[in-house]
Structure 1
């Protein structure tokens, strides 16, 4: 069950947690205690399985201990707004002892830090309540430095209160200035004539202007503007009310975490010190991971979120049971849940994870939801659960025409697979179907877009690679013992032998890198995108921890995802750290920021093995020509130069940490920022003037599925603003056989001394 996992899921639950903690403005009350014996068992299992199964397990020593210590506090208090320096002085004696505690199943460090964190968070709640109680004076000339990594811990409670006060002031100040700006724009716009408004609208839309949207805008001009202006005091009060409500909502969400959840975070920190992609799955997270990999679940097909003590329906998944039944709606609040004819259970105030468990269930079973509708009425809705496919997980394709030639775009968000049901859909099968559909539409080239694709199933990437070549190797794998295995495409059939472009970026990782590397090594495709991909060249196994314990009374122990192998290109090189370097490098917004595997301190090293036996693809004669032409276009393209300049500007801006908390100075800073950013606005407004459309089979679905229609319209609109897709189409143009013949004729004429 080899998997290449999305690199962004480094800490799983920690990611959600850190996003909240980074704001530094929340608190929670512990719900229940975890079982210390279960915690000790998990600690023992975790280290045992990693040390026995990991590709290259790190030594659990003082250096390991220091890494866990550092990562743990960065995860639970990154903004240094909970712990005091006195707390850290007390904790510091454990910095070199965590390794010994792990070996001895000693929970002293975790228990001490957990108990203290709960106390400090409760105090933090009082700090933000106090800071938001009275009007904030924005006339005081003071600054805030948001570089918390370099900031010291506070020495006293008064210092800590001050840190909270300044962060809250920054948050509310930004909101207040935005409210003022919006009101000023509304007043300014109200005084304009309809003709002025229309002219301004047309100018703003530019190349993106369409007749339908313009007609709606003109219709709106006939309506009388009614603007309710607010005083500074009213807006200031509103920002405090909104900020406090947001913090209270976050508190409501976070308070559901219990000690077991926090211990899971601690285990994750330990696991990820072995390498960035080794991590612990509590039982619930394992289920979510399976859904992520397969793109489907069994339930009613609704997305939920916590809203105070209630669970709110936020979206119905297109094609799911709830969507088909048409009674449940976004905005409904779930009050009770009943299984079939059983008595309903009140779920108000219940953890959202527990509510989800009650609503989900096997295909064919009945669930009854008592919901409060947006009009205040109470309704009982009966739904028969079914298999729900999460459409955003799956591959999709589009057709674009340039100079009378059709091209196909296939977007693959991840290399998904269902490990349980082999007959279920997976990325390999779906891409084969999309390729056939595009062939039937007469396309003359295909773009495989794996930008932002963090990986997935190793099997599916081999299947997909096999669609574009005759028999041959796709990837090499090496185990800890040094055993090498080569994964082949053994099917001589080539599903697509025409021009091919692979699109990547810095967030294309793992399986995406295997596909791009294989097609590049075969000289089968042109790889176009960022300077290099993410650089994740490791393979993980998901191991069920329950199999190691017989007759456990602790319930589901979860699973461990651990690195067991490394994969290599067919040319022998590793993609670890180095990633895949593009044949055609296109600048992007993240070009100068540190975001790859090479920027993680405990990433595994790069190495190389012998090349596999493979033959170059010899049917794409003008590959080098297409690459050369593209480089010339990009070098002369002012939009590309602007994107590169903007990327450098973003990198410089990322170093800015000091903000004024005096309103006039803050406004001036923001005005200067907006002025500097004006020159880059054309990047957002860019339109490649290409028209993208769905395939005929999907057009039929769209006719009856409003949600799908909206999603495809949004996708096609984003493609029409995508300069990278535009260049990929240009490259497909240059890869056409006619382009090769033209180049050959030019060379022959030159050889004969004939002017062309």
Structure 2
């Protein structure tokens, strides 16, 4: 099975909640299907069996393990502590040290109890928020609300819980109200706008904020209502799986499908993104290049009323779960689907679409060119190390980056920036292929299995596709495969690593294991898959990237510099260690490598904008620790005004503009003539690059690495002057 590297998890507790709530949008299990306790027991048995046999270093399932599952699971069910009462927690607490026994015995007592209680408390809470929003809030009353949910105790009784709901909703409404008042004040300042519409009164705005808050909560609870027992059981199973390490996780069948799409960057369907609007399914976006986009009949804002397969009778999808609508619209390449849609003008239209393979353009690599001091440079942005495990002939990150390098060479670039900021990882194979583009041949990464066996993955191709100046850009969210690439380039001294003080710090490898292979003739349907940590990877110098990540050659401050967001901040992350180094030879064709680093550090030290960014990062860290908000409108406004005044100091950070103009390559410019969506996306990207101080510094570094080229350019300039004279 192919090794893959999971997208990083910034905060596991938050992600569990997101997983729980997003099931309503994605799960393909019909609501009316009743859950089978025997299937649940089988799932737990398979989960623990596969993890204990295949995990790199499986945790002992004991009382300590039980406490971890207990804590994570309850945090996932009720992260803001507005459903469970303290009496519920007291009742649950008797099982805190028994979950390990329940796992071994396949006992569902704890899950059944918590699930039933959660459903009861959620149902009760509907009246809490409706009552709280039924009448105007008293914004002159001097009260406050603390949003530090982690240390907040559970409510002692229903009355206290209702009060918590009221305060939380008041804070939400107050924030919206103040924003609405600002808009009205702007209308008064703009006399022309006042003529068109009179400013709204405080009473009108106050009512609007309560109504919008109510509608938002109703939508949320409608999503939750779509969840069934099996969905919540997945949350429980994941609380167990993740205690082995943060990257071990159970994937329900639909989750596995999304994972495959994420890794390959493509799917088969019509190429449209859908969203729920009440009982209706709305087309929110057409994917550029997809069959729906090519057909030019379906549009954003269209409401899907019915779906028919080919010549079959259409099925009414109004009121149907979004998941089930998606499942009906998706289908194999070459098949026909007919959508009955209500257009934005109210007309009803039947649109026939032939499904096709859809490439999600945002997944794939892209590049741009920029000039400085007579030199042309290339910027390659890689959002993830994608691959299609089912089709080796399909495009993947390794092949695509090689193509982009060739295109940039054809444009005559004299340096390349490889941007893997926010890239959470992907395929090990592709990162080896990409690193191999920049070195002659040699080891790229070392892998160690649970049994202690070491494997070294090599680039065995002596061809160097790019031997010129190279800069790799990383940040705190560059993880896994991104760290392998940066580490290899750094160890070979092949290029300069710039970015955050260190990358994310995920030095483990996961395998996705199909659980269905262990059960023959199962009557339970698709059991999903388990992603479990099977190996650790190490740099060619022997050190692990686990926890420590890759330290930049040139550390540049950013707004996340002081926030706890890396692997090292997760309580059950695997430890750092090291093994023997591999046999490799550093790159010796970049004479002024150390000088370029020194020059960059000198620029950073004296750069006022960088100092401001660092100061802003410290301020954001301080703000992150402040959790108490006044619910008195005058005090709240005063607090917000003070924050706005303080933030003005940092406004120049977002208004910053570098001196460079970024352009697409010729092949892409030709495509954009017929694809306005692609043009808009590239224009937005180039605009963001033009405001990016980090890209600016990367280009400066490439310029500093141009020692030999600069000599040649200088000679050429002198000759040109002689000819002219």
Aligned to 1:676: 646
Q: Which piece of structure 1 moves more, 156-165 or 344-353? A: 344-353
1:646 maps to what in 2? 616
- In the alignment, what sits opposite 1:753? none
Is residue 702 of structure 2 the alignment partner of residue 732 of structure 1? yes
Report how far residue 7 of structure 1 moved: 1.0
Task: Please say if 1:626 is aligned against 2:602.
Answer: no
Residue-pair matches, total: 705
Alpha carbons 1:146, 1:658 under 8 Å: kept: yes
The yes-or-no answer on 1:105 pairing with 2:106 is yes
Where in structure 2 are the equivalents of 1:151-170 lying within 5 Å?
151-170=152-171
1:46 deviates by 0.3
Instruction: Name the TM-score, length of structure 2 as normaliser.
Output: 0.95
Among residues 248, 251, 258, which one is paired with 1:278 in the alignment? 248
Q: 1:373 aligns with which of 320, 343, 356?
A: 343
- Tell me the equivalent position of 2:447: 477
Preserved contact between residue 267 and residue 280 of structure 1 (Cα < 8 Å): yes
Q: CA deviation at 1:255?
A: 1.5
Checking the alignment, whether the CA contact within 8 Å between 1:147 and 1:657 is kept in structure 2 is yes
- For 1:557, which of 527, 538, 546 is the aligned residue? 527
Measured against aligned partners, the alpha-carbon deviations of 1:681-726 in whole angstroms (never above 9, x if no partner) come to 0000000021001000000011110100100000000000000000
Residue by residue over 1:508-537, the C-alpha shift from the partner in whole angstroms, topping out at 9 and shown as x without a partner, is 000000000000000000000000000000
Equivalent-residue separation in structure 1 for 2:694 and 2:197 (angstroms) = 42
- 1:459 is paired with a residue of what secondary structure? helix
Tell me the equivalent position of 1:319: 289
Q: Distance in 2 between matches of 1:365 and 1:465?
A: 40
Is the alpha carbon distance of 1:20 and 1:425 closer, same or farther for their aligned partners in structure 2, counting shifts above 3 Å?
closer
Q: Is the 8 A contact 1:11 1:268 kept in 2?
A: no
Matched, 1:538 2:508: yes
Is 2:472 aligned against 1:502? yes
Contact 1:473–1:570 (Cα < 8 Å) also in 2: yes
Match of 2:460? 490
Partner of 2:562: 592
User: What pairs with 1:376-455 in structure 2 (closer than 5 Å)?
Assistant: 376-455=346-425
Deviation string, structure 1 residues 474-502 (Cα, Å, up to 9, x no partner): 00000000000000000000000000000
Whole-Å separation in 2 of the counterparts to 1:414 and 1:454: 6
Q: Runs of 5+ in structure 1 lacking a partner?
A: 22-28, 192-222, 746-756
Report which stretch shifted further, 387-396 or 351-360.
351-360
Q: Deviations over 1:70-106 (max 9, x none)?
A: 0001111011100000000000000000000000000
Q: What is the deviation of 1:224?
A: 9.6
Name the CA distance, whole Å, in 1 between partners of 2:126 and 2:361.
40
Q: Secondary structure at the match of 1:693?
A: coil
3-state DSSP of counterpart to 2:532: strand
Q: Which residue of 2 is the match for residue 67 of structure 1?
A: 68
Instruction: Encode CA deviations 1:194-217: one digit per residue, 9 max, x unaligned.
Output: xxxxxxxxxxxxxxxxxxxxxxxx
SS at match of 1:429: helix
SS at match of 2:328: helix
Structure 2 CA distance for partners of 1:12 and 1:84, relative to 1, 3 Å:
closer
Q: Residue 147 of structure 2 aligns with which residue?
A: 146
Match of 1:255, SS state, is helix
Q: For structure 2, which runs of at least 5 residues remain unmatched after alignment?
A: 24-29, 716-725
What is the Cα deviation at residue 16 of structure 1?
A: 2.3
SS at match of 2:41: helix
Q: Partner residue of 1:361? A: 331
Offset at 1:376?
1.2
1:93 & 1:377 partners in 2: Cα distance?
Answer: 59
Residue 435 of structure 2 corresponds to which residue in structure 1? 465
Contact 2:20-2:231 at 8 Å conserved across structures: no
**Aligned: 1:350 with 2:320:** yes
Question: Aligned in 2, Cα 1:50/1:291: closer, same or farther, shift over 3 Å?
Answer: same
Q: Are 2:16 and 1:14 aligned?
A: yes
Relative distance call for 1:579 and 1:715 in structure 2 (3 A) is same
Counterpart Cα distance in 2 of 1:69 and 1:38:
22
Instruction: Report how far residue 18 of structure 1 moved.
Output: 6.5
Q: Distance in 2 between matches of 1:320 and 1:623?
A: 45
Query: Structure 1, residues 94-120: CA drift from partner, whole Å, max 9, x if none?
Result: 000000000000000000000000000
- The separation in 1 between residues aligned to 2:31 and 2:571, in whole angstroms, is 33
Shift of 1:741: 6.2
What's the offset of the Cα at 1:225?
A: 6.3
SS at match of 2:338: strand
Deviation at residue 175 of structure 1 after TM alignment: 0.2
Alignment map for 1:155-234 (pairs within 5 Å)? 155-190=156-191, 226-234=196-204
Partner of 2:665: 695
Corresponding residue of 1:749 = none
CA drift at 1:190: 3.0
Distance change in 2, residues 1:72/1:42 (3 Å): same
Q: 1:399 to 1:630 in 2, by over 3 A?
A: same
1:291-344 per-residue CA deviation (whole Å, 9 max, x = no partner) reads 000000000000011111111110000000000001111111111111001111
2:277 pairs with 1:307: yes
Cross-structure match for 1:521: 491
- Tell me the distance in 1 between the aligned counterparts of 2:254 and 2:20: 19
Q: Secondary structure at the match of 2:161?
A: helix
Is the Cα–Cα contact under 8 Å of residues 313 and 333 in structure 1 kept in the other structure?
yes
Q: Distance in 2 between matches of 1:474 and 1:12?
A: 34
In the alignment, the residues of structure 2 paired with residue 109 and residue 264 of structure 1 have an alpha-carbon distance, to the nearest angstrom, of 14
CA contact (8 A) 1:335 1:347 kept: yes
Q: Which runs of 4+ in 1 moved over 4 A?
A: 9-13, 17-21, 29-32, 739-742
TM-score by length of 1: 0.92
Distance 1:301 1:11, change over 3 A: farther
Asked if structure 1 preserves the Cα contact closer than 8 Å seen for 2:506 and 2:546, the reply is: yes
* SS across alignment from 2:589: coil
The 8 Å contact of residues 31 and 257 in structure 1, kept in 2 or not, is answered as no
* C-alpha distance in structure 2 between counterparts of 1:405 and 1:739, whole Å: 9
After superposition, give the CA deviation of every residue in 1:6-54 in whole Å (9 maximum; x if it has no partner): 0138589835256799xxxxxxx98654110000000000000000000
Preserved CA contact (<8 Å) 1:310 1:348:
yes
In 1: Cα distance, 2:523 partner to 2:101 partner: 27
Contact 1:465 1:518 in 2 (8 A): yes
Aligned to 2:718: none
Structure 1 pair 735/15, CA: closer, same or farther in 2 (3 Å)?
Answer: farther
> Secondary structure of 2:479's partner?
coil
Alpha carbons 1:187, 1:227 under 8 Å: kept:
no
Checking the alignment, whether the CA contact within 8 Å between 1:7 and 1:509 is kept in structure 2 is: yes
Tell me if structure 2 keeps the 8 A contact 1:470–1:493.
Answer: yes
Secondary structure in 2 matching 1:692: coil
Asked if the contact 1:451–1:504 (Cα under 8 Å) also holds between the matched residues in 2, the reply is yes
1:135 CA displacement: 1.3
- Hey, what's the Cα distance between the residues in 2 that align with 1:292 and 1:631? 37
CA separation in 1, counterparts of 2:465 and 2:90?
Answer: 64
Provide the secondary structure at the position in 1 that maps to 2:545.
coil
Q: Which residue of 1 aligns with 2:723?
A: none
Alpha-carbon deviation of 1:226? 2.3
Between the aligned partners of 1:402 and 1:297, the Cα distance in structure 2 is 40
Name the SS for the 2:493 alignment partner. Answer: coil
Match for residue 242 of structure 1?
212
Root-mean-square deviation (Å):
1.7
CA positional deviation for 1:349: 1.2
- Does 2:38 align with 1:37? yes
